[in-house]
Amino acid sequence: MNFDLTEEQIAVRDAARDFARTELLPGVIERDDKQQFPAEQIRKMGELGFMGMMVDPKYNGGGMDTVSYVLAMEELSKVDASCSVAMSVNNSLVCWGLEKFGTEEQKEKYLKRLATGEIIGAFCLSEPEAGSDATSQRTTAEDMGDYYLLNGTKNWITNGSSASVYIVMAQTHVEKGHKGINALIVEKDMPGFVVGKKEDKLGIRGSDTHSLMFTDVKVPKENRIGEDGFGFKFAMTTLNGGRIGIAAQALGIASGAYELALAYAQERKAFGKKIAHHQAIQFKLADMATQIEAARMLCLKAAFLKDQGKDFAQAGSMAKLYASEVAMNVTIEAVQVHGGYGYVKEYHVERLMRDAKITQIYEGTSEIQRIVIARGLLDS
């Protein structure tokens, strides 16, 4: 077992850390307060190669490994989880799915621009009645010969109004259940496609989360990903990798809160000494650091297995489950370490606490992760 990072991985981590501090930190509180999408920051992330890190260079990507992606996600998420979730969706769900399962024409038309951040993508699976039960797709894609006629609604879509390309799961053969679902590439300017209201959220408020409505949208047959009926398998396979990204996001949120709490504990004085010298605070810091390190190991293991071409589904679910729970635990304790100041926006930890909660919900709730993990255990 080798726990040393390569020189390239260290360079990626350091570049992400520097970008987070110099480009994301200024204005992050204001963007959260105003629910402002970080368009300029994401544009710069694209220029630096963060929006298509794992994409083959022949499609304008960085050609990096998943470990490097996890390291970058952690550093960016320490400061601004709204930026990192846009990066995660574009990398893990849209670019990866297109590169692995898309046609050469689809890669040329869409992937090359997505990988550079010239445009960004969205992954559209959830519906008003199809969240954790993703098999219950009500959005339909009627086969009309040369095209599909798309009708329905999608909910909770990250990059909802800012994306140009949307991968939409829709039911074509109702009688086949989940085996009748297709994955279609939809462009924002297709007639009949409407972006709904922006959700007013607890956390990741800079991320633009929207509902989407499709009314008789004509989607060309060449925009289908994979064979007829491949959509559900496409979604589940893609989400396996996406969970690594969200696990890394949760890890970053926890790490950012811990670093702030550690620094504050060494400055703030109470009862005649720095609070870091009080055992009650020391125990909190020790628990936080230990939980974060365990979460980091789970994230890196899942990334390593993916890079080795091995089955990473269970490892990804374990990483996502544990890292998201650590994010909640650590951010709550970080607020507590700050005392009254922790409740004030200026000190950042209350925002990180709010951001942490969503990591237990999206791309598979903690309950769904436990089901995935248990099935893996019982089938082994």
Q: Which residues of the chain form beta strands (DSSP E)?
A: 121-124, 140-143, 147-158, 165-171, 181-187, 193-198, 209-220, 224-225, 269-270, 273-274
> Is pLDDT of 380 > 80?
no
Average pLDDT for the chain:
97
Average pLDDT over residues 207-235: 98
What is the per-residue pLDDT for 307? Answer: 97
Q: What is the CATH number of the domain that holds 324?
A: 1.20.140.10
In this prediction, residue 50 has a pLDDT band, given cuts at 50, 70 and 90, of very high
Tokens at residue 293, please? 């390190």
pLDDT in tens, 23-38: 999 999 999 999 999 9
Instruction: Pick the catalytic residue from 30, 99, 363, 367.
Output: 363
**Domain shared by 187 and 215, yes or no:** yes
Rounded Cα distance, 282 and 195, in Å: 48
Query: 95 near 123, Cβ under 8 Å?
Result: no
- Only one residue has tokens 């999608």, namely 154
User: Which carries the bigger pLDDT value, residue 136 or residue 48?
Assistant: 48
pTM for the predicted model, two decimal places: 0.97
Report d(CA 64, CA 310) in Å as an integer.
17
CB-neighbour burial class of residue 17 (10 A; exposed 0-12, middle 13-18, buried 19+): middle
φ, ψ of residue 237 in degrees (nearest 5): -65, -45
Same domain, 248 and 222: no
pLDDT above 90: residue 119: yes
Q: Is residue 1 part of a domain?
A: no
Contact between 136 and 177 (Cβ < 8 Å) = no
In Å, how far are 150, 160, 193, 220 from 215, measured between CA atoms? 7, 17, 6, 15
Same domain, 302 and 216: no
Q: Are residues 189 and 106 in the same domain?
A: no
Asked if residue 2 is part of any domain, the answer here is no
Domain extent for 15: 7-120
Q: Do 128 and 113 reside in the same domain of the chain?
A: no
Tens of pLDDT, residues 163-192: 999 999 999 999 999 999 999 999 999 999
The encoded tokens of residue 174 equal 């109702």
363 noted as active-site residue: yes
Instruction: Please report which residue ranges of 225-278 form alpha helices under DSSP H.
Output: 231-265
User: Cα 109 vs. chain centroid, distance in angstroms?
Assistant: 24
Instruction: Tell me the C-alpha distance between 39 and 198, whole Å.
Output: 16
In this prediction, residue 129 carries a pLDDT of 87
In a domain, 17, yes or no: yes
Angle (CA) 43 38 70, round 5°: 70
